[in-house]
Chain A
Amino acid sequence: MKKKLSLILALTMVFSVLAGCAKGGGAESADGVTTIEFWAAPNPTQQAFWQEMADKYAAVNPKVKVNVSAIKESPSSEASIQAAIAGGNAPTISENINRGFAAQLSNSKALVALDELPQFKEIVEKRNMTETIKPWEFADGHQYVLPIYSNPMLIGWRTDILKEIGYNEPPKTYSEVLDAAKKLKAKYPDKFMWGKGADLADPTAWKRWFDFFILYNAASDGNKFIEGSNFVGDEKAGVEMLTFVSDLVKEKAVLAKQATDPFETGLGVFTDIGPWTFDMWKEKYPELKFKENYDLTLPPVPDNVDPANSKTYADAKGLVIFAGAPKEKQEAAAEFLKWVYSDSANDVAWFEKTNLPPARDDLMELQAFKDVVAEKPELGPFAEAVSKAVPSIDNPRFNELQTLIGSEAFNKIVRGEIDPQTAWDNMKKAIEGELQQ
């Protein structure tokens, strides 16, 4: 009873008390200094990078102060941002924004259309990101997010286990993976080909970025899934992909139960890998060595698709400027971003510190980036695959839509409860129904 009341209280408190808080004063303080609030991702390396940028900027531009703080995750960074906007306490800039959340925010007129800022064109040109930013255009033709990094999600393979079942390199097509799965189960009945864990059976929306969309983008050559308010998914590729997963399930080669680090412990042979993983491995699994006992590739494709051209999902996040901030602060924020991205050395520092590939067109061309990759060779495949990664859908109802992908199709396939065509049809129908609301 008490808890129930507490929840109602908490919900309404967040909504009302914050709304009642001060809307913030003027943009400029008495000493003529404009202060901009910068919310960094709750990740020490990213926070350190932005603090360093803020300090350097203060040295060359004492009239602007950039206050860097980490986004609170109570209960999630999105909820904190939502509460801050509702309470009139939103920062001037925030990083760590994905396209889906940006679509929700822009739909509520909470974001500045960056392409309308005078600094935007210069930022894009100086950072050499003309091509990279193209897929980030929203359905209304505006750019609301300045992508900072773009992680092409790759597939990590335990090459040591593959060798034991007769493979000198990772399989690339569906039939090759299925063949390897059969050999794996014959030799090691307790191991799994796709060793991902309970996420595969969980309908939580964001989890589909790291399973469904990786495979769908590979199978469909990056075909869009939802465009505006229309479902435009490639049915042939989608059903083929679901059939592949279903076939793996039939071979008992998919681990969809809660497991601790199944890939790292050798329980599973492949899983999705992002570059943030390597720091954890360094501490916890130092025995994992790139090209020695694991390798990274683009996702497997249907047999009739060239694996070299496989596409994948781009786990990409960027910066937004909030519309609620005074114009002077928006202007100062845009100038700060222009300063940061006018020097490629800052992107190099970012890459070194965070392992996250900067969203630039010249990632594999500039020597400084090549030097980072030479030092950390496991980042090479990520840098090479940036152009092959497709960012997430930009529909403001992405959360509901991606939940339906899981609950209507993907999770059921993984649990072996439905056939691929029915799963696709049910999912399509449910998504179209949601889009019409």
Chain B
Amino acid sequence: MIDKQNNRLGWLFASPYLIYGLIFFIGPLIWSFYLAFTNWDLIAPTYDFVGLKNFTKALASPGVQASFWVTYKFMMLFVPLVTVMSLAVAVLVQGLPKFKSLYLIGFFLPYLSSGVVSSLIAKGFLSYNSPVNNFLRNTFGLDIDWLGTPISALAIVGIILAWKFTGYYALILTSGLESIDREVYEAAAIDGVTNRQRFWRITLPLLYPALYTTLILSFGVTFGIFTEVYQLTGGGPNYATNTWQMEIYSQAFKNLQAGYASAIAIMASVVTFISIFVIRKLLEGWGKRNGWV
């Protein structure tokens, strides 16, 4: 009797999320699958079922192919960058004698800033006639087309994202650092370990749970990049920064091909799920080697 009552209570407490998920996630997801097999633009009174045509078209599309590779390029740049930066911030803040929270809030602020605003500031900063470029041209003779060159455009977006997420991840890592038992360090000090050994052999392995979280989050970010790319490069030059989201947006809202865009969204989901699954397994393997799993 008590079990049944508890069950009911459990369902009751979970119901807001379940209802929300049903209306705003499961329903639309099913409809998105349906749309992916049509040529509907959501406006025309009639449409046809086109079978797998949207998917085959997407596979052959240079825009979609670019999205696939661009995501992994961003991953290779963004994940190490944001991990090193957030780890550095966390370690430095942890070493402060006081005002740790204040510093952490300072680093966290970019996470709250609008992607549109930070992109526009970056755009102004990197423009041909900005003081930075004038200085580079006049002093070193360097004339760099920051957003018009594939490598630098990719790097700029990656750096902006790293700047934005560093504070957030540093917050998670700081709490991870705080949870490491001081006695371990004291014992290590008695054993005469160097600072480098202390970091690589003690801190990093013991930080695994927090690092696992930030790494999974940062890998996830690379599959969802949109605002910065939309504002800064529009996916260019030559698709060099064309993310999945840019491609979906372009097809759905510029070309009015909702069915095709849904097919791309599904493909993006599959790629994301598989990638995150593989990454998770690799990270868990690392954790296992350090006795965490």
Contacts and interface: CB of A to CB of B under 8 A. Distances in A.
A427 B24 CA distance: 42
B236 A203 contact: yes
A2 B224 CA distance: 8
A348 B270 CA distance: 57
Interface stretch (A9-17, A56-64, A303-311, A326-334): A9-17
Main secondary structure on chain B at its contact with chain A? helix
Contact of A15 (B32, B123, B230, B234): B32
* Those 9 A-B pairs whose CB atoms lie nearest each other, nearest first: A3-B224, A12-B28, A1-B220, A108-B44, A259-B128, A86-B42, A108-B43, A79-B253, A12-B32
Interface string B263-293: 0010011001000100000000000000000
14 contacts: A1-B219, A1-B220, A3-B220, A4-B223, A4-B244, A5-B25, A7-B248, A8-B269, A9-B24, A12-B32, A12-B262, A15-B31, A19-B42, A197-B128
Main secondary structure on chain A at its contact with chain B? helix
Contacts of A258: 123, 126-128, 145-148
Given A16-B27, A202-B234, A2 B42 contact: no
B140 to A, nearest CB: 15
A201 B237 contact: yes
Given A2-B224, A110-B43, A258-B146, A13 B124 contact: no
Which of A6, A76, A198, A203 has most chain B Cβ within 10 Å? A198
Contacts of B44: 107-110
Given A8-B32, A8-B265, A260 B130 contact: yes
Nearest to B130: A260
B25 A9 contact: yes
Nearest to A398: B255
A238 B36 CA distance: 38
A19 B219 CA distance: 33
A260 B265 contact: no
A257 interface: yes
Contacts of A108: 41, 43-45, 256
B43 A1 contact: no
Contacts of B23: 17
A105 interface: yes
A75 interface: yes
Contacts of A79: 252-253
B268 A4 contact: yes
Interface string A183-194: 000000010000
Contacts of A5: 25
A115 interface: no
B31 A255 contact: no
Given A1-B216, A15-B35, A8 B29 contact: yes
A400 B250 CA distance: 10
Contacts of A168: none
Nearest to A417: B238
A126 to B, nearest CB: 32
A86 B148 contact: no
Contacts of A13: 24, 28
B269 A205 contact: no
Which of B29, B127, B248 has most chain A Cβ within 10 Å? B127
Contacts of B221: 3
A11 B32 contact: yes
Contacts, number: 156
Interface residues of A, number: 51
Given A2-B224, A107-B44, A202-B234, 14 more contacts: A1-B223, A1-B272, A2-B217, A4-B223, A8-B269, A9-B28, A12-B35, A105-B43, A255-B128, A257-B127, A258-B127, A258-B147, A262-B128, A397-B255
B129 interface: yes
B43 A82 contact: yes
B271 to A, nearest CB: 9
Interface in B116-167: 123-124, 126-130, 137, 145-148
A117 to B, nearest CB: 20
B261 interface: yes
A259 B129 contact: yes
Contact of A11 (B27, B248, B255): B248
A29 B234 CA distance: 45
Which of B126, B145, B268 has most chain A Cβ within 10 Å? B145
A85 B42 contact: yes
Contact of B124 (A19, A198, A260): A260
Interface in B191-236: 216-217, 219-221, 223-226, 230, 234, 236
A230 interface: no
Interface in A62-111: 75-76, 78-79, 82, 85-86, 104-105, 107-110
Contacts of A75: 230, 249, 253
B114 to A, nearest CB: 14
B86 to A, nearest CB: 17
A43 interface: no
A130 interface: no
A12 B29 CA distance: 7
B127 A259 contact: yes
Contacts of B171: none
